[in-house]
Structure 1
C-alpha cells in the first residue's frame, strides 16, 4: 500500500528534511528517512524515546507542512473503545424507539436498522482518522501508547494493519486512503511485538548540542546568542547526571523563553536557581542542582565555552 504522490507528500529524503525544517523541526537524516518511508509506503511510524525529545512534534509538524487535519488520541490508563473509537448516542436511539412505537412500527429489523443507523454513531479519534478529507488523509497521532493496557493495544492491531474498524451493528468501516499514523511511546512499559511489526520504528534520542542550539534559535529567536550557547551546554551536562528525570528539548525551549522574559543575557547562579522549575520537574533534582552541583556545572560550561 502506498501513499499517493499528491497532497504535498515529499518525493525524497532531502525534501522530507526541508518539509520538517519549514515547521522548525530539525530532523537528522535517519529520522527523515523513516518519516519519508512511512509516508511513501503507507505504514504507521512508531517513535520511542524519552519524554520531551520531540516525538509528538513530528506529527504536528507533518500536519502543518502537508496541510492535513491532525487527529490526536491521547492515551491513558483505562482508555477504552467508547472513548477512543466510537459509542452510540443512546439518547437519540431511545428517541428513535419512541417514535417507532408512536408510529405503530412493529418490524423489529426495521427498528434495529433505524436505531443503529450511522447518524446515531458518535465518532471518536480512531473513526475520525478513517474518514475521507478533501485535504488528504489526516495525520493520526496515537500519543503515549505505553500508558494504555494490552487489551487496547491488541484492539489497535486491526486499525494499524488494515486501517479499518469493525463495529458489530454496522460491519467494517475501512479508510478509503490510509491516514498518516504516528504512534509514540515513552517506554514506561514495553509495547507488544505484534504492534511494532505493523509499524516502521525509530528511537528518537536527545539532540546533539549543535542541533539543540539551532532548535533554540528557531523556537526562541529573541534569546541572546551567548545565553543560548550557555543554557544549551548546561542542559547537555545536566543530562549526563543521574537525575530522576532529564530535561527534554521542550524544557530547554521553556527555559530559554523564561530567561529571555527575565531579560537575562548570561547564566548566573541566581538566574539558574530562580528558573529551575521550568527545566526540572522533580524536587529532588531541583534540590540537588541548587545544592552546589549546579554551580559546578556552570563553571565547567563557562570554561569549555571559553576554551572552545
Structure 2
C-alpha cells in the first residue's frame, strides 16, 4: 500500500503504508507522522541513535511515492553547503573562453551576467528540496549543527523560499514534508521545536523488535529472532558507550544466519559480538558480566 498525502486518510492507513515498505511504526509515531502530513508541519524526531529516525523519512518517501532529499548536518555546516554554491572552476573556464573569443573586447557586464545563471549553480539539498517539491526533506542530526545554521534553517522552514541574489526568489510550489532528527547531543532551540510536531522515538518493545527482525529477514527463525531481541534488550539496559539500535539487531541476526546458527548460545555470542557492539570497552564489559546470562534471558 502506498499513496500520496491526499490519499492517506488516517494514522492507521499511514502505518499500513509504512509497513508495506518494511517500517513498523507504533501508534504514536504513525499518528504524529500523519498529523505532520495533514497539517503541513515539520516533524522533529528525537531519540537515541539507532531507533529508526532516519529510516522513518526514507519509509515515508517510499510509502508516499515521493523523492527524498537528505541534508546530513555536521559541525561547521553553513548555508553554502546546505543551500547552493557557484561552480567557480566552470565559471573561470567560461570567462577565459569569452576573453579568447572576444579578442580583447570583452563586455564586462555581459560576461558577469553570463556567469551567474542556473548553468553554473550548484544545487545543494535545501534548494533542491524547494525546487523538486513535493518531496520528503530529511534534515538529519540537526543537533550536530551550530546555532547560526539552526537560525538559518528556521527562516527557510517558515517561508519555504530562498533568495539567490543573482537569480531572484525561489519558492517551493508545494512545501516539502520535513523530517528533522536529533540524537540529543545538544539541546535544539525552542524556536525550532515550536514550529514542529515533536516525537521521542524510543527503542521498540520486545514484540515489535521481533516483528521488525522477522519482517526485514523473512527467513530468520522465529525462535532465533526472539533470542536476539531479548539479548539486545539486556544490552541496552547496561551502561554501554553505544547501546545497540535496531540496525545492530539486524546485523547480529544476519551474522547468525550467515553462520547457519539457529540458536544463540554463549560461544556464538562471543564470536559475533562485533556485529552488535562497536566499542572494545562495551565488548569487554558484556563479556565480563557473563555471556551465559545474556543468552539465557527469556
Shorter-chain TM-score bucket reads over 0.9
Confirm or deny that 1:121 pairs with 2:121. Answer: yes
Q: Secondary structure at the match of 1:176?
A: coil
Q: How does 1:1-308 map to 2 (within 5 A)?
A: 9-98=7-96, 101=99, 102-103=101-102, 104=105, 106=107, 108=109, 110-132=110-132, 137-299=134-296, 301=297, 304=298
Between the aligned partners of 1:256 and 1:98, the Cα distance in structure 2 is 58
TM-score by length of 1: 0.89
Task: Give me the whole-angstrom Cα distance separating, in 1, the residues matched to 2:215 and 2:107.
Answer: 66
Secondary structure in structure 2 of the residue aligned to 1:131: helix
Does 39-48 or 160-169 show the bigger shift? 160-169
Q: In structure 2, what is the Cα distance between the partners aligned to 1:111 and 1:46?
A: 45
Q: Deviations over 1:258-288 (max 9, x none)?
A: 1111111111111100110111111111001
Question: C-alpha displacement at 1:107, in angstroms?
Answer: 6.2
Alignment root-mean-square deviation, CA: 1.8
How many residues align? The count is: 293
- Whether the 8 Å CA contact 1:45–1:200 is kept in 2: the answer is yes
| Unmatched 5+ stretches in structure 1 | none
* Structure 1 residue 114 displacement after superposition: 2.2
Measured against aligned partners, the alpha-carbon deviations of 1:13-62 in whole angstroms (never above 9, x if no partner) come to 11111111111111111111110111111111111001000001111111
Q: In structure 2, how many angstroms separate the alpha carbons of the residues matched to 1:107 and 1:249?
A: 58
Contact 1:9/1:39 (CA < 8 Å) preserved in 2? Answer: no
Instruction: Determine helix, strand or coil for the equivalent of 1:222.
Output: coil
Deviation >3 Å, runs of 4+: 5-9, 95-107
Q: Note the residue ranges of structure 2 that are not aligned, 5 or more in a row.
A: none
Instruction: Measure, in 1, the Cα distance between the counterparts of 2:295 and 2:117.
Output: 65
